[in-house]
Structures are given as structure tokens and as C-alpha cells.
């Protein structure tokens, strides 16, 4: 795809010289009865009509439902995301050791889930905080996934790592801080792996949709969107879960939409209610963090569930009728 050509095409009829000339002529004809704002408004509308009276609208975005009315279903290791049956994704914030990730994978599998998450490259506010185990973390995650029959998801933060990561992961996550790291998005467009794209810390719906478009226009149409809370003045929760973003994104795009309840709330006491709301409003899946021993976790210690809490979490979602138990068949 050559953006330059798209741009030139797009701007062919909108070039400023034309605008100036048309505005001048309209001004003459209206003899001052129309304000400048009205004239500019009229011009913009006329411009959409085009020279032959036919609408010269831009083509719709590739990710938009106007472009493709049917839902995109992302199939990962035989399991569907966006196929009607919501999926849970769980696992530790960070991969810390073979034992830790294996224990977490066991707990995740035992409750019938198909997807294991775990961070290997951790974007941390401070350079002195735990930065993750890197490629070794990906290896440990894949090993745990293989042993327990789980598809694995992890965040990649450097465009130079995408090829390497595709050797370990079933789904590549692009995190909130990198939602507008366009070089990373472009590389993600060039891989064959599904991409889980998280909404930026303070990204608008429109920016989020265009970030997905960067991936799709570069060749990858296997994209899962993930609402994870936005930054607002309210500090009772870590972020504010923008729950209506889910139906909005599903209206505007054909992509599956998940909700990360751990990062949107940052509070273990809100994971169950937030997940119920997400499922009731139509999310295709829910992400949450679980750790064998949260108090000793190297990151986000206070917001990861232990195994008992995770049991309770899945039980409550099943009891609500909003999430259906998956029979374990290893």
C-alpha cells in the first residue's frame, strides 16, 4: 500500500487553490448574505459531491463494518474469538519463572480456559522496576502453554522483536502505551499472527480504530480490540472502564472486542462485576490476571488474583449465565 498515492488521490479535488477560487465565487454570488463559516461549510459539502454530481467519498476504512458487514472471527489454535462464545484469557502479569507460569497455566486450564497470558517485555513507568524476562519469558510461556494445551498471548514492544516473537506466541499483544507506536503497528501488519490491540491510556475511539487500520492496511486482518480503561480524573479505580466502548467498537468495526478487567479497574474486588458488565454488553472475551502467589509478584502485586480468587471469579461468571463453562478435554 502506497500512502502517498492514497493521499494524492484523496487530495486531488480538495487542493487549496480550488477551495480559494470556489469560495471567492460563492462570496460574490451571495452578496455578503452568507457568513464566512456558512460559505466554508457549503464548500465542504459541495466538495463531497464531486464534479459529476456523484458522491466522491473516501473509501471506508478496512476495519469498518461499512467495508465488511460480517464479524471477523479470529481463530487461534482451533478456538474462536468473536465467534459468539465469549472467551476468558488469564495468566500472570509477568512471567517470572518456569514454576510460576506452569502453576498459573495449570490453574487456567483446570477451569476450562483456552488462553494463557503472561508478560515477558514489561513496559514499566520506572527503569528501575522489573522489566520482564524478555525472550526467555516467551520461551517459558510457550513451554507452559504446550504442556497444558493453552494458546499463549504476550506483549511485544519493539518492532525488531516481532519476527522472533512469532516463533513463540499464538497471539501478539500490542499494549496501551504502544497503541500509537506506528512503527510497531506497521510491523504487526506484516506478521501472520493475530494481534490483540489494547486501547491507549487516553485514546479516543476514533484513534483506536485508526490504530487497528494501520495493522490491517499493512496486511494483517486478524485483529482483536481490547478496552482496558481510560485515564480520567477519577482515582477510585486505576482507570475508568469505558464500557460503552464495546458496543461502539462492534458497531463501527467488524473486529472482536475484549475487555481487560484487571487493568481497567486495578482492584480485585471489582473484577467479577466488571466482567459481568463486559459480557452483558457484548464483549467477545474478558482478560484478567492470576498469579500463584500475588503478594510475591514482581509487578502489579495488588491487582492479581490468587487461585482461590480465580476459582471464585470463573464460578461467578458461570453462575451469572453470561459465560459458559468449557469442558476440559486435554
Of the residues 173, 264, 303, 304, which one makes contact with its own copies according to CB under 8 A:
264
Q: Is residue 191 near its own copies by the rule CB under 8 A?
A: no
Q: Which stretch binds its own copies (CB under 8 A): 70-78, 145-153, 156-164, 308-316?
A: 156-164
Q: Is residue 248 near its own copies by the rule CB under 8 A?
A: yes
Q: Cα(237)–Cα(258) distance, rounded to whole angstroms?
A: 19
- DSSP readout, 138-178? HHHHHHHHHHHT-EEEEE---GGGHHHHHTT-SEEEE-GGG
Of the residues 214, 307, 310, 313, which one makes contact with its own copies according to CB under 8 A:
214
CA R_g for the chain: 23
What letter would DSSP give residue 244? T
Please provide residue 120's backbone torsions phi and psi, each rounded to the nearest 5 degrees.
Answer: -115, -35
36-55: contacts with its own copies (CB under 8 A): 38, 41-42, 44-45, 48-49, 53-55
Q: Is residue 241 near its own copies by the rule CB under 8 A?
A: yes
Q: 300 by DSSP, 3-state: which? A: coil
Q: 64 by DSSP, 3-state: which? A: strand
- Judged by CB under 8 A, how many residues of this single chain contact its own copies? 96
Q: Cα(54)–Cα(153) distance, rounded to whole angstroms?
A: 47
Q: How far is the CB of 38 from its own copies (least distance, A)?
A: 5
2-41: contacts with its own copies (CB under 8 A): 3-4, 6-7, 10, 15-17, 19-20, 30, 33-35, 38, 41
Q: How far is the CB of 289 from its own copies (least distance, A)?
A: 16
Q: How far is the CB of 76 from its own copies (least distance, A)?
A: 25
* Closest to its own copies by CB, 62 or 110: 62
Q: Cα(245)–Cα(323) distance, rounded to whole angstroms?
A: 20
Amino acid at each position: 500500500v502506497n500512502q502517498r498515492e492514497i493521499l494524492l488521490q484523496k487530495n486531488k479535488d480538495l487542493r487549496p487553490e480550488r477551495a480559494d477560487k470556489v469560495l471567492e465565487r460563492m462570496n460574490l454570488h451571495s452578496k455578503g448574505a452568507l457568513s464566512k463559516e456558512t460559505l466554508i461549510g457549503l464548500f465542504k459539502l459541495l466538495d463531497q459531491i464531486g464534479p459529476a454530481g456523484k458522491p466522491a467519498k473516501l473509501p471506508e476504512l478496512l476495519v469498518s463494518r461499512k467495508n465488511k458487514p460480517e464479524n471477523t472471527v479470529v481463530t487461534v489454535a482451533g478456538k474462536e474469538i468473536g465467534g459468539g462464545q465469549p472467551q476468558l484469557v488469564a495468566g500472570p502479569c509477568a512471567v517470572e519463572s518456569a514454576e510460576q507460569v506452569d502453576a498459573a497455566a495449570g490453574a487456567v486450564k483446570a477451569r476450562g480456559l483456552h488462553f494463557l497470558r503472561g508478560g515477558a517485555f514489561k513496559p514499566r513507568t520506572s527503569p528501575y522496576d522489573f522489566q520482564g524476562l524478555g525472550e526467555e519469558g516467551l520461551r517459558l510461556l510457550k513451554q507452559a502453554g504446550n504442556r497444558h494445551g493453552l494458546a499463549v498471548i504476550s506483549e511485544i514492544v519493539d518492532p525488531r522483536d516481532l519476527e522472533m516473537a512469532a516463533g513463540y506466541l499464538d497471539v501478539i499483544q500490542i499494549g496501551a502505551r504502544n497503541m500509537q507506536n506506528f512503527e510497531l503497528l506497521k510491523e504487526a501488519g506484516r506478521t501472520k499472527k493475530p494481534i490483540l490491540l489494547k486501547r491507549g491510556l487516553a485514546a479516543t475511539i476514533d484513534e483506536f480504530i485508526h490504530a487497528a487500520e494501520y495493522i490491517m492496511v499493512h496486511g494483517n486482518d486478524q485483529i482483536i480490540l481490547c478496552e482496558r480503561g481510560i485515564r480520567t480524573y477519577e482515582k477510585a479505580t486505576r482507570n475508568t472502564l469505558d464500557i460503552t466502548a464495546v458496543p461502539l467498537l462492534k458497531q463501527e468495526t467488524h473486529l472482536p472486542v475484549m475487555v481487560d478487567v484487571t487493568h481497567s479497574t486495578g482492584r480485585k474486588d471489582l473484577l467479577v462485576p466488571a466482567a459481568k458488565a463486559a459480557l452483558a454488553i457484548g464483549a467477545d472475551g474478558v482478560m484478567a490476571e492470576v498469579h500463584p502467589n500475588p503478594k510475591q509478584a514482581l509487578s502489579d502485586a495488588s491487582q492479581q488474583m490468587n487461585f482461590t480468587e480465580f476459582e471464585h471469579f470463573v464460578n461467578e461468571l458461570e453462575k451469572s449465565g453470561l459465560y459458559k463453562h468449557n469442558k476440559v478435554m486435554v
